[in-house]
Chains A and B, each alone.
Chain A
Amino acid sequence: MTDQTKTESPINHAPSSGFAKEIEQEPGGEGIMKCIQCGMCTASCMVASMTERYRPRKLIQKILLGKREEVLTSELPWLCMTCKLCEERCQEDVDLSQIFTAVREIAAREGYVPPVFQNTIEKVLEDGWMLNDAYTDFEEDDRSDLGLDPDLGWNNEFTKKIKKRYFKGGDAK
């Protein structure tokens, strides 16, 4: 008869990857292991109040459970408004918004960025600022009428440098 205590348990309760530890190393991610899933964050979150699909508590739980691929390819981390109401109230001092930002960065590194973010990023890097396309004659006139300089003087050399260094094959960290 085999010794039952020596056979492996068929159910593995350990996190399925080191994802939580990976996040723990990111700035702002230090507190993630402290989460006790109390729901304060979700109760505070206005996105959670208005849509059933987003529950910051559950997203943290997915990270703790090591569901790396699921989280990185999901749109959920991109739904956080970074309003930080959750961070203000979390009694374990878990910085959810910063954790989700770290998740976004890892997702971006691995090639997953929602199109709307991608488009805006490309515009900013190209133009130096966000609303180049939106600045038409009408807006120029409004500014002149108010006595404001219609020439906004945005610099795009720098962002082009940034693009070269950090976005085209350069090492992101």
Chain B
Amino acid sequence: MLRSRKSPRSTVLIVAKAADPTPSPAAPDFLLPLWRAVVVFRLFAWVVATGSFAREWDSYPDHVIPIVLLALMAGWTVVVTLAYGTDAGRRSRMAGYDLIVTVGFIAANGLTQPWADLHAGAPVLTSLWATGPIFALAVERGRDGGFTGAAVIGAALITVRQRLGDQEIFNTTLFFVAGVTLGYAATTTRRATTRLREALAAEGAIAERERLSRSIHDGVLQVLAIVRRRGSEIGGAAAELSALAAHQEVALRSLMTSGPTTAGGRVDLFATLRLRASSRVEIVTPAGTLLLEREMVEEIDAAVGEALTNVAAHAGDGAQAWVTVEDRGQHVVVSVRDDGVGIAERRLDDAQRTGHLGVAQSIRGRIIDLGGTVELQTSPGAGTEWELTVPKSRP
């Protein structure tokens, strides 16, 4: 009798423990430098705005309103600096409020100069400072944030100028380029941070599994192996105990090695297949891991499971099976071989005619859906061998 998989209650506990999502270890937030740049830019831009005002002193008809506005801009700069400097501020909708308030400041330019003068090219008090929200939005929301910020600030400045000249088009284009580029950079950085976090979590899980497996290896497994060996020597009822111990030993060993490692929605094929080890099934894989799309791993695993069930049903008593996984670069090749009675060619034809080849068709269907191929070799007395070849990336 051959069972493809058995996980007794006592060992399931261990799996659950090993597979528990470990608390995400502290990974550095790579977005932090970008936020710092946004804040420093804003402070610098305020200094520039104040400097320009001093330089253009004579072109302002009144000096009280601009000075009050500059003071308010300084106040808002302090508010956003504090907000962007904290986790909570970065995660909230602060960049959106920043955009609205800044548009208000751009509109307030109308209080500093007559609209006709602004149209004619008089200095705009908010100048470079007004572009701050574009960058904050880009860092917070990625490409779309940068795009939105550039569109709103560009439109506000064009409205204040009441014209669409070369200068306005040039400035707005620059806003778009800067906003979208920074947005992309922020998105990429955010992904990198997530990946790193996952990698650190996986590393923690592996370390935990190793710790567990070492202690299990030194104790439980050794005793099981001894029970198995001694039991089969004594014979009789002890031989039964020996067989039970043997089964548990293999099951526990494979559970320790596996606990499928995942990262970024991908699953380790080697570890997944190793769970199918039993005293009658040997799983042979290279060292390390082979991460593939979750769906692909599940389909391959299911196909292997069906092949093994078939072995158990038809290969005969005492048949041994080997599941061998080979990474061949573009493809992964999984072989399921048994040393059982095999299938005579005539019987295979009969089966095909009477529609008893359900298993073969099911396996074939799964693998072909993945863009792969299936080969079946069998002859009487020489067992059967399935060879599943699957491309690692979908066609």
Q: Do A and B come from one complex?
A: no
Task: Write the residues of chain B forming the contact surface with A, with a CB cutoff of 8 angstroms.
Answer: none
Task: Write the residues of chain A forming the contact surface with B, with a CB cutoff of 8 angstroms.
Answer: none
